Amino acid sequence: TMLDLVMLGRVFPMQTVILAKKAVSYYPLVGWFMRLADDIFISRGSKQSASSMFQRASAELRAKRVSVWFFAEGTRGRFSDGPGLLPFKVGAFLLAYHARVPVVPVVTMDFHNLYDRRRFWSTSGTLKVKILEPVLLDGLGEDDLKPLMNRTRETMLAELKRISPPRIAH
């Protein structure tokens, strides 16, 4: 959601960019700001493998000497019964693998009690953000990435449930 980007913009480390699909660059406001921030947009052509696309993106990241902020779900899921995570897409792990850097999982508590998207209403409160231990990719091959990604997702989901307060009715 837009609230994600506003909140996360506050906690981004310096020299950090977002990696997003190219279509996001055309969104009013958010796309414009992302272009101004020199974020990286990727588009996967039909003849291009995901691995080769992320090899090129990792070279761009190393050339710019920046870290990348990546939303592993691809989009925010909506769960009526409590906080949850969609299955991860492999892109963040492929990018880290090709860039030879660790993945640092960041978990943000469930926004449900602070934000009602149907009414575009929010209230003040404390939003918890937890940075987990880096996930090292040393010595792994591409075939090892999906199982590692799934374990990382399970760790993040457990932390999401731990730091999120019980939901209240809107």
pTM for the model: 0.76
| Backbone CA torsion sign across 140, 142, 148, 152 | positive
pLDDT per residue as tens, the chain (170 positions)? 555 666 666 666 777 787 777 888 899 888 888 888 888 787 766 556 677 777 887 887 788 887 877 776 655 556 667 678 888 888 888 888 888 888 888 888 777 666 666 666 666 667 788 889 999 998 999 899 999 999 999 999 999 899 988 777 76
SS3 label, residue 131: strand
- The number of helices, as runs of H, and strands, as runs of E, in the chain is 5, 7
Rg of the Cα trace of the chain? 17
